[in-house]
A and B are shown apart, each in its own frame.
Chain A
């Protein structure tokens, strides 16, 4: 199996370049994932750098651009990919080294969405009650793993990463707006006012297309817009 991988080490390279790698067919097993292949390549060349941890799609470390599409290496079957496999860092982010990007902007926007439950009532001695139907509103929202596949595939985020919160952060915003226990609806909506933070979403839907957890940020964004409209009427 052949690979073409984006390489850049600012310590020694003046410019990024694509490097070819070959993984011996004897080292490929049925059901092998792209991450397994990368770990084999790293055993051949220790300098090849990427993030990884859980190997099962729950930690969100190994988001990268795989044959032109963002995804997690650990849950992408090698057999599903056309050779040579072209691997690049997540698009439009500053590259630290090889496949490792600087995610500061992504995390800043996540924090800007106030991704935490706000409820100023005195805490009861036991749990706050929530019906199964109310709890179901959070399905498809709380499962986000912050891999950044969505936001870095979004043209609106590419152009305005400092102004548009991006699909991942907005999914979190709706996760708390949709939570029957949260009391900060007005505050959250106020902070999303203006032409950029929320309204830069042009429903291109790349985010839905690439999300490795099959979540739907576009729908969440739509729900926030509806809520804003309802409030203004």
Chain B
């Protein structure tokens, strides 16, 4: 079959902050770059980020990148790779200044500098007093950044394929990535995009869980594409539950609320975080606060008629501070709960939020896999950045404010490496038809008209299974059952069909393809969680409550083929400073 083709120097899949930061760097270097996104770029989930982006600007309190690095390593529960973390923290101030120069409307201090607020897990002087490191545009920082990046890409004349869905990566027999097969959603027509280099920037997979803070589009498409291309996923057992989603609904309430002075109360009116984190209290790391809320509720100290949540109090901040610093969450709470958080506390509960794991990369954004020469051999032609990637700067637990930083720093770093690569590769390598046929088969599978299962039904079941069997607290028996349940659902997916066979803007087909992606990632998550027999960061095993650095200070790698686990060491050696050796993690 002869399919239409386009060719570019670089294909970027995903138009959130990571993809757009990379695209801008490449367009400004006059590379021919195509950005493929299943939604119009400003609808990508970066738009929903609220609290801010971390950088040691020291605009409010003394700060430096080395303290930021310490906090990030500690926050990661020592699973983060220290070379990548050093790189990110050192690059942070420049990344933020660049955004400011692009026009991001950061909030300002009286002296005209960028406003910074306190956030969880931040300290001065390697574990000392609270720092103020999070640069904010009110509580709409993600929106401000995503729109500015898109706007600058318009100026730089980046080529966009809006509302195109990526089906699969295309590889040659040596495994070099040559681009992707994509689908124009509006017409249902497939298109081959050939590229010398491909960057995956497709975001996370929050839709794995029933109650989540994520957009419906967060189905981990790039991660699943990598799995199907034979690339393992790293550290998938580490999924972040944000302490403060709106109870029962899931909308995100930024950590910035606590950064501005808000705090949590249990059903007895007690400021319970003082018991769990005597020093940092409500601004301890997210994994710590989420477990504390979960424990309060489980032990009968929840709020409300069903005692199933806790309260986030911010009315003492005053209407002016709430209106000026937290206008977005005020609007959200008014819309969804009919109450004004400047007057009444918000009911909150831990909610699935962020995928720490992902496609393994080095700090240049190159996707790396265990091959003959070592555990981290680059896959030629393939890069990944942002939430879909695992560099790993977040390790077992991400600090608030580090995700926006991650996408900026590594979107840019990947683009810079690609620019170097493009100088050496002047021609496109020949395309492999087998690879195209396989991708087309994935698409064609949904043309069939028989089958007893529905996509919507299976998705709901999968989300419930993940919540019940792979939530905040885990143990061997529950996880074993979880693995069995996901495998059963995956088998039933073979028997699913859709009733919409139109070529025009067929959203049923897109949702079917997204469910396939979610299913692959669910299996990676639950299998990785079963095998890691320790508690570290966001992965809490009731049956193995302690961190075990002797056996488990290593990254997990899940291979789709044979559902095989593999491991590789943590890169504990930073670039220029001394390593931070593992210590007991107290806040």
User: Does B504 reach chain A (CB closer than 8 Å)?
Assistant: yes
Smallest distance from the beta carbon of A40 to chain B beta carbons, Å?
10
B215 and A53 form a contact (CB under 8 A): yes
B108 and A132 form a contact (CB under 8 A): yes
Smallest distance from the beta carbon of B288 to chain A beta carbons, Å?
26
B105 contact from A51, A75, A124, A142, Cβ within 8 A: A142
For the complex, what is the distance from the CA of A75 to the CA of B338, rounded to whole Å? 12
Contacts of A75 in B (CB 8 A): 335
- The closest CB in chain A to the CB of B39 belongs to A53
A11 and B508 form a contact (CB under 8 A): no
A53 and B43 form a contact (CB under 8 A): yes
Contacts of B109 in A (CB 8 A): 132
A130 contact from B47, B112, B251, Cβ within 8 A: B112
User: Does B447 reach chain A (CB closer than 8 Å)?
Assistant: no
B507 and A59 form a contact (CB under 8 A): no
Which of A18-26, A41-49, A190-198 lies at the interface with chain B?
A41-49
A47 and B43 form a contact (CB under 8 A): no
Smallest distance from the beta carbon of B378 to chain A beta carbons, Å?
32
User: Does B176 reach chain A (CB closer than 8 Å)?
Assistant: no
A130 and B500 form a contact (CB under 8 A): no
Contacts of A49 in B (CB 8 A): 505-507
**A115-B154, A130-B108 are known contacts. Are A47 and B45 too (CB-CB below 8 A)?**
no
**A96-B504, A116-B152, A145-B42 are known contacts. Are A54 and B48 too (CB-CB below 8 A)?**
yes
User: Does B110 reach chain A (CB closer than 8 Å)?
Assistant: yes
- The closest CB in chain A to the CB of B38 belongs to A53
B502 contact from A9, A60, A103, A127, Cβ within 8 A: A9
User: Does B111 reach chain A (CB closer than 8 Å)?
Assistant: yes
User: Does A10 reach chain B (CB closer than 8 Å)?
Assistant: yes
B508 and A47 form a contact (CB under 8 A): yes
A-B contact count (CB 8 A): 154
User: Does B284 reach chain A (CB closer than 8 Å)?
Assistant: no
A116 and B154 form a contact (CB under 8 A): yes
Smallest distance from the beta carbon of B102 to chain A beta carbons, Å?
6
Contacts of B503 in A (CB 8 A): 11
Complex A-B: 23 CB contacts under 8 Å: A11-B504, A31-B249, A45-B499, A52-B216, A53-B217, A54-B48, A54-B215, A59-B215, A96-B505, A97-B505, A107-B40, A116-B155, A119-B101, A126-B57, A126-B97, A127-B101, A129-B112, A131-B108, A132-B107, A135-B106, A145-B42, A145-B143, A146-B42
For the complex, what is the distance from the CA of A138 to the CA of B215, rounded to whole Å? 27
User: Does B69 reach chain A (CB closer than 8 Å)?
Assistant: no
User: Does A85 reach chain B (CB closer than 8 Å)?
Assistant: no
Smallest distance from the beta carbon of B505 to chain A beta carbons, Å?
4
A123 and B101 form a contact (CB under 8 A): yes
Contacts of B155 in A (CB 8 A): 114, 116
A125 and B505 form a contact (CB under 8 A): no
Contacting residues of chain A (131-154) with chain B, CB-CB under 8 angstroms: 131-132, 134-135, 138, 142-143, 145-146
B500 and A143 form a contact (CB under 8 A): no
**A54-B47, A60-B42, A142-B147 are known contacts. Are A127 and B100 too (CB-CB below 8 A)?**
yes
Contacting residues of chain A (3-57) with chain B, CB-CB under 8 angstroms: 9-12, 31, 42-43, 45-47, 49-57
A53 and B216 form a contact (CB under 8 A): yes
Given contacts A31-B336, A47-B508, 18 further A-B contacts (CB under 8 A): A11-B503, A42-B456, A46-B498, A46-B500, A57-B331, A58-B47, A58-B140, A59-B42, A60-B42, A61-B43, A96-B504, A97-B505, A115-B154, A123-B101, A126-B97, A127-B114, A130-B108, A142-B147
Smallest distance from the beta carbon of B96 to chain A beta carbons, Å?
8
Contacts of B217 in A (CB 8 A): 53
A11 contact from B43, B112, B499, B502, Cβ within 8 A: B502
Which 7 A-B pairs give the minimum distances between C-beta atoms?
A: A117-B103, A129-B112, A116-B151, A46-B508, A59-B43, A127-B100, A11-B502
B499 and A47 form a contact (CB under 8 A): yes
Contacts of B47 in A (CB 8 A): 54, 58-59, 145
User: Does A100 reach chain B (CB closer than 8 Å)?
Assistant: yes
A129 and B111 form a contact (CB under 8 A): yes
For the complex, what is the distance from the CA of A190 to the CA of B111, rounded to whole Å? 34
Contacts of A117 in B (CB 8 A): 101-103, 148, 151
Contacts of A58 in B (CB 8 A): 47-48, 140, 143, 328
Give the total of B residues in contact with A, Cβ under 8 Å: 62
Smallest distance from the beta carbon of B58 to chain A beta carbons, Å?
11
User: Does B186 reach chain A (CB closer than 8 Å)?
Assistant: yes
A55 and B216 form a contact (CB under 8 A): yes
Binding site for B on A (CB under 8 A): 9-12, 31, 42-43, 45-47, 49-61, 75, 96-98, 100, 102-103, 107, 111, 114-117, 119, 123-132, 134-135, 138, 142-143, 145-146, 176, 179, 181-182
A132 and B110 form a contact (CB under 8 A): yes
B335 contact from A12, A46, A57, Cβ within 8 A: A57
A contact face: mostly helix, strand, loop, or mixed: loop
Contacts of B140 in A (CB 8 A): 58, 143
A127 and B43 form a contact (CB under 8 A): no
Smallest distance from the beta carbon of A52 to chain B beta carbons, Å?
6
For the complex, what is the distance from the CA of A129 to the CA of B113, rounded to whole Å? 6
Most chain A beta-carbon neighbours within 10 Å: one of B148, B155, B332, B504: B504
For the complex, what is the distance from the CA of A54 to the CA of B140, rounded to whole Å? 14
Contacts of B504 in A (CB 8 A): 9-11, 96-97
User: Does B273 reach chain A (CB closer than 8 Å)?
Assistant: no
Contacts of B167 in A (CB 8 A): none
User: Does B144 reach chain A (CB closer than 8 Å)?
Assistant: yes
A131 contact from B39, B112, B143, Cβ within 8 A: B112
Contacts of B143 in A (CB 8 A): 58, 142-143, 145
Contacts of B454 in A (CB 8 A): 43, 46
A111 and B97 form a contact (CB under 8 A): no
Smallest distance from the beta carbon of A49 to chain B beta carbons, Å?
5
Contacts of A103 in B (CB 8 A): 40
Contacting residues of chain B (99-137) with chain A, CB-CB under 8 angstroms: 100-103, 105-114, 137
Contacting residues of chain B (485-530) with chain A, CB-CB under 8 angstroms: 498-500, 502-508
Contacts of B103 in A (CB 8 A): 116-117, 176, 179, 181-182
For the complex, what is the distance from the CA of A130 to the CA of B106, rounded to whole Å? 9
For the complex, what is the distance from the CA of A100 to the CA of B44, rounded to whole Å? 18
B389-431 interface code vs A (CB 8 A; 1 in, 0 out): 0000000000000000000000000000000000000000000
**A53-B39, A117-B103 are known contacts. Are A142 and B499 too (CB-CB below 8 A)?**
no
For the complex, what is the distance from the CA of A142 to the CA of B105, rounded to whole Å? 8
- The closest CB in chain A to the CB of B142 belongs to A58
- The closest CB in chain B to the CB of A116 belongs to B151
For the complex, what is the distance from the CA of A176 to the CA of B104, rounded to whole Å? 11
For the complex, what is the distance from the CA of A58 to the CA of B139, rounded to whole Å? 12
A47 and B502 form a contact (CB under 8 A): yes
A54 contact from B45, B154, B498, Cβ within 8 A: B45
